[in-house]
Amino acid sequence: MSCQPGDMLCYIRESKERAAAMIKAEVLRERQETARKMRKYYLTCLQQLLTDNGKQEGAEKKIMNAASKLVTMAKGLETPLRHTLQCRTTRSGMLGYLSVCFFTILMEGTQ
């Protein structure tokens, strides 16, 4: 759509549409960058858990360490967690929460 000379309302409307498109593109870029950072951090944490850092630790401690790292990651990236943290108090709840986080992070990488 092209504006007629002197049509300020049309010019303002087109400017608003261009600005909205630019903002949408920037938000998408930021979202993708955040997802990349989260995947990288999560995989680093997962590798540390799998190698056990040379120590023998119990499953409960591993789960709590992983949860702590995920929360730290989310805070560091200033990204709200998508899922509630209500189930963090039980081991099975924590394992389920970590599974959801892992699946979410990996699925975002395929999009």
Residue 35, domain member (yes or no)? yes
Name the CA dihedral angle for 100, 104, 106, 107, rounded to a multiple of 10 degrees: 130
Residue-wise pLDDT tens digits, 5-30: 788 999 999 999 999 999 999 999 99
The structural domain count of the chain equals 1
Residue 6 DSSP symbol? T
Distance from C-alpha of 88 to C-alpha of 67, rounded to nearest angstrom: 8
**pLDDT bucket at 46, cuts 50 / 70 / 90:** confident
Residue 3 lies in a domain: no
pLDDT number for residue 84 = 44
CA 28 from chain centre, in angstroms, equals 12
* In-domain check, residue 27: yes
Q: Is residue 58 situated within a structural domain?
A: yes
Domain hosting residue 38, numbered range: 8-109
Residue 2 domain-assigned?
no
Q: Helices 8-51 and 59-76 meet at what angle, rounded to 10?
A: 160
Mean pLDDT of the chain: 71
Residue in the structure block whose two tokens are 């002197």? 6
Q: Is residue 1 part of a domain?
A: no
**So what's the pLDDT on residue 28?**
92
Cα–Cα distance, 87 to 108 (Å, whole number): 23
Average pLDDT over residues 63-92: 59
Percent of the chain whose pLDDT exceeds 70: 52
Q: Is 22 within a domain?
A: yes
Please report the pLDDT score of residue 85 as a whole number.
45
Res 1 pLDDT > 70: no
Token reading at 39: 């995947």
Does residue 82 lie in a domain region?
yes
